[in-house]
Each structure stands twice: as structure tokens, then as C-alpha cells.
Structure 1
Amino acid sequence: MPLSYKRVAPDLQRFLDEDLGRGDLTAPLLTGRKGAGVYLAKTAGVIAGLQIPEFLYQLLGTKISYHPLVQEGQSVSAGTPIAEAAGDLAILLAAERLSLNLMQRLSGIATATKQAVDTLADPSIQILDTRKTAPGLRQFDKYAVRVGGGVNHRLGLDDMAMLKDNHWAAVGNLSQAIQLLHQVNGPTKMIEVECESLAQVNQAIQAHADIIMFDNQTPDTVKAWQQLIPAGIQTEISGGIELSNLHDYAGCGVNFLSLGYLTNRVVNLDISFNQR
């Protein structure tokens, strides 16, 4: 699903309000002046967020000629022009920092996600993101994961119930917690259970969890536990997985592998806006 102007415009307007305050104090120097510039990828990576400059220009109320030069999700080399813009110079510069901040972050996330997908090299396992996103940027961060070839897990706590040890401890035990959630939420809301032991895995199976997460387990343990999972229950692995050991989990038989670092340890792609 691409970024929707209608969906992201309220956030972008809030970001503009934060950045511009009561107005750019240097703007009077630019009144009536025209300008042009190019967005340039200064390092290699996957480009995400190409729509953002155009959305910002629209919110700023002045028609700007804006043209992407590459495709969303395209891998580019260092030095590649990725978009160009021309028009009112004050508007171009007012949108410059915010557009770069977002495009750099989104492209960094997309780049990390594609690297993870390529490193795992197992199309039977989908790479998932987590809720470890920057507050206020979740829809942007998760969009970038999709651009990089990953899949969104939960946008929020209302998408799916995930049971962790502190949840079932409050109820009494894991089986009771799953049964209660089935009763309260009904059959349409999935229940995922985070398991750290074989006993917990067996309880989750018996209580008919929809997804079982193997948390902080080695590839060998994951493969052994996966053999016990009946048809109809999906599995996920999470915890302690980095790029350095990611490929070790290829072929382990699970459906999903979630990576928090995709969005909570973002390395921005270096992008600049150069006037011409």
C-alpha cells in the first residue's frame, strides 16, 4: 500500500508547524524568486518516501514542479539523482529539511529491510517489523519496511492480541489467558503467544493459539520446536537476531521472523537537496 496523501497529510502538517513555527524569518529575502534543485542519494541504498516532497509542497500551498527520477523501492548507487523540483524558492527551501529528514529515515529503513531479506535468503519466511518505531512516525516507518520487502506485523495493540509472560501471570496461567481472550475478543481477532520454553509451546498448542512466537531461541531449538506445531498454527521467531546471524535461521520452517532493529536502530541514507 503506497503512502496516501489523505492519510499522512495531518502528520506532515504537524511536522511543518513544528519546523516553521510562525514563519521562516529568512523567507522575505526570497520573495518572488524562482529556483530549482535536485535530490541526490549520496550513499547507495533503497529509496523510499519519494512522494513526501510533493505532499509537502501541496501543504505549503504553492505549485511546485516535482518529478521523481527513480522508482520507489529502487536500489541506487551513490551519486544518483532521485528527484528534481522547481518553482518558488521560498517553498523549496521551507520543505527542504523536513523532506530530507523523512526521506533519509525511510530510505534507511527500506535499505536495512532489503538487506535483511537478501541475507536470510529464504522466501518461505517473511521478515516482519515490530512496534519499536519512533513515536509519531509509525505509519512512515512501517511503510518503509514494506518498500524494502518486509511485512508489517501490528500497527497497534488493537490489531492482534499478543500474550507475554506478564499477561498470563496476571491471569494465572497461559491456557486461561488464551481462553479468556478468545471469549472476550471473539474468533476474528488473532492471538499470538510469546514462548520461551517447550512447556509454554505445548500449552499454547493445547489452548489453540493462532501464532506461536519462539522468543530468543537458537536455530536448532527453533527447528526442533517447529516439528511439534500442528497445521493451522503459524510460527514466528524473534529476539537476539541480527544481520550477522540472520541466515542461520534460513530453512527452519517458521512463517515469520521479526526484527526490531529495522526501525529502532535506523541508519539514515544520506540524501541532499542541491540547488541548480
Structure 2
Amino acid sequence: MTFAPLPRLIIEPLVRNALAEDLGLAGDITSAAVIPADHRSSLVMAARQQGVIAGLDAAELAFQLVDPAITVVRHIEDGSTVLAGDIIATISGPSRGLLTGERTALNFLGHLSGIATVTAGLVRAVEGTKASIACTRKTTPGLRALEKYAVRAGGGMNHRFALNDAVLIKDNHVAIAGGVAEAIRRARAGVGHLVKIEVEVDTLEQLREAMEVGVDAVLLDNMTPEQLRQAVAIVDRRAITEASGGVTPATVAAIAASGVDLISVGWCTHSAPTLDIGLDMQS
């Protein structure tokens, strides 16, 4: 699967903020005191466990913003699968800058690679079905663009980036509007013709009501695989079907087998474990 890199214009403010947070008001006082100003080093960035890499642009930028004299030679690119011990990149330059940028670079790379890794696992689990794995808006505040990029690096798809991307009528919208059909009618009257409308339903009865009015997509919330199969039959390709809730590595294959088009997962961004990546002096 191919995916485009994020523009530097998006990445750089996030990396600058992270570096500023780490440097504080006095900078890296440890490296300044311990390391001679003219000392140079070469470091090897290597995986310590198997996973899928994402976030190399952010990691590289962390070093280069600290000191433009630092060079990064990549041995792989984002989206690549690594095994424990595989070398990801070699970073060379002034030692002070290398040590100052190290933690910020590894924070970005480890976090984003963790997201890509769990996403890739879910994608593998649904191979042979029509279902695609999608993320949600359950992202770290300020890091949504990077985290959704990491999902793409892992072979997944992105759901909405923000509230203005599309209409997603949730249970509280339905409750306030007075019903599924009324909520859809209000949404259709309130947005332009290019805006997609999706509605969340908890029951097959709500689904039938939604299909009578007409909608672009239905979010089938916390349904069993059997209920999902019935829902797919009711929709009969008249809308995109999305399963959400109760998705785990153990359940995702059965959910996909129901015939849904999408399976949305929040924890792949908000709870993915960091991929263990090390940065050590080159021997």
C-alpha cells in the first residue's frame, strides 16, 4: 500500500514544540557541561523488537532543528517491517546536538511506529475479507496528523480528521433530535451536497429507519458478528457499513467476516504501545 509523506509545514511546528518543551529555559545543560563543543559522533538507530516503522521525518527533523550539521542516513523508510536488531538509520554530527535531539526523535518514532505496528496487525487479521481498518478521532491532542499518518503507514485508513470533514450523527445527536430519521433529515438540510452523512445505530430497528430515509454510511455500534451480518443484509450495498466497538485482535477477524466495509478502532491511536527503538554509539 502506498501513502504520501506529510508536508514539512505540518510536521515542523509539532517537532519544534516538542524540542522547546524538552529544552526548557536553559537548554541541554548536561551535554553542554560534559561534551566538548567540537566533539563529533555517529549513532545507530535500531529496532529492539519487531514492528512497522513510522515517523522518520519527524525524528530526522528533531535532530536537524537542533543542529543543521547533523546528517541522517536512512536504511529503511516508513511502512517497513523491522525485526529486533535491524538498523533503521545512522545519525552523525556534533555530539551535543545528537544527545540533545535524541529523546524527542525517539519519542516521535517510537510512538508513531507503535501505532503503525498495531494497525498492521489488525490489517493482517482481516486479510481475505472486504473490510478495511480505520482509525478515529481518539488521538493525542496536537498530534492527530502524525498519528493518522502512522495508521496509513501501517496499512490502515483514516476516518474523519475533524468535525468539519463529514457529518457523523451519534447517539446523543439522535436523542436530542428525537430520532434517527429526524436527525438525518436535519443534517441533509443543513450541509452541502458534497458532505457525506453517516449515522450511528445501536439496533437493527434504528438501522432500518436510517435506510428508509437514506444515508451515505452507517456506524454499527457494539453489534455482535451475527447482528452485523444481518445489518449488512439490510443495507444491501445502499450505504457503507462500519463496525465499531468491541474490536480487539481476537475479535476483529469475526467482525470482518460479517461483510462490513470498515472496522473503526480508537485504541490503535490512543493506546498503542510504543515500539522499542534504541539509539547507541556506533561501534
TM-score (norm 2): 0.94
Answer yes or no: is 1:203 the counterpart of 2:248.
no
1:64 equivalent among 70, 75, 87: 70
Answer yes or no: is 1:25 the counterpart of 2:23.
no
Deviation at 1:141, TM superposition (A): 1.0
- Matched residues in 1 for 2:59 and 2:95: separation? 14
Q: Mind listing any 5+ residue stretches in structure 1 that lack a counterpart?
A: none
Q: Which residue of 2 aligns with 1:147?
A: 153
- 1:228-249 per-position Cα deviation (integer Å, ceiling 9, x unaligned): 1144411100101110111112
Conserved in 2, the CA contact under 8 Å of 1:175 and 1:207? Answer: yes
Conserved in 2, the CA contact under 8 Å of 1:57 and 1:91? Answer: yes
SS at 1:227's partner residue? Answer: helix
Conserved in 1, the CA contact under 8 Å of 2:60 and 2:105? Answer: no
Conserved in 1, the CA contact under 8 Å of 2:243 and 2:264? Answer: yes
Instruction: Single out whichever of 255-264 and 47-56 deviates more from structure 2.
Output: 47-56
Instruction: Single out whichever of 244-253 and 40-49 deviates more from structure 2.
Output: 244-253
Kindly provide the amino acid, as one letter, of the partner of residue 6 in structure 1: L
Q: 1:19 and 1:211, CA in 2 relative to 1: closer, same or farther beyond 3 A?
A: same
Kindly provide the amino acid, as one letter, of the partner of residue 180 in structure 1: R
Answer yes or no: is 1:223 the counterpart of 2:229.
yes
Q: 1:257 and 1:122, CA in 2 relative to 1: closer, same or farther beyond 3 A?
A: farther
Q: Which residue of 1 aligns with 2:5?
A: 2
Kindly provide the amino acid, as one letter, of the partner of residue 266 in structure 1: A
Instruction: Single out whichever of 135-144 and 20-29 deviates more from structure 2.
Output: 20-29
Conserved in 2, the CA contact under 8 Å of 1:62 and 1:91? Answer: no
Over aligned residues, Cα RMSD in angstroms?
Answer: 1.3
Kindly provide the amino acid, as one letter, of the partner of residue 183 in structure 1: A
Q: Which residue of 2 aligns with 1:257?
A: 263
Residue identity over aligned pairs, in percent, reads 37
Kindly provide the amino acid, as one letter, of the partner of residue 11 in structure 1: L
- 1:171-229 per-position Cα deviation (integer Å, ceiling 9, x unaligned): 22211111111111121111111111111101111221110111111111111111111
Q: Which residue of 2 aligns with 1:166?
A: 172
**What count of residue pairs does the alignment treat as equivalent?**
276
- 1:8-57 per-position Cα deviation (integer Å, ceiling 9, x unaligned): 11111111110111211123233121111010101111111122232123
- Matched residues in 2 for 1:267 and 1:107: separation? 9
- 1:70-117 per-position Cα deviation (integer Å, ceiling 9, x unaligned): 122111110111100101111111110011011111111111011101
- Matched residues in 2 for 1:210 and 1:238: separation? 16
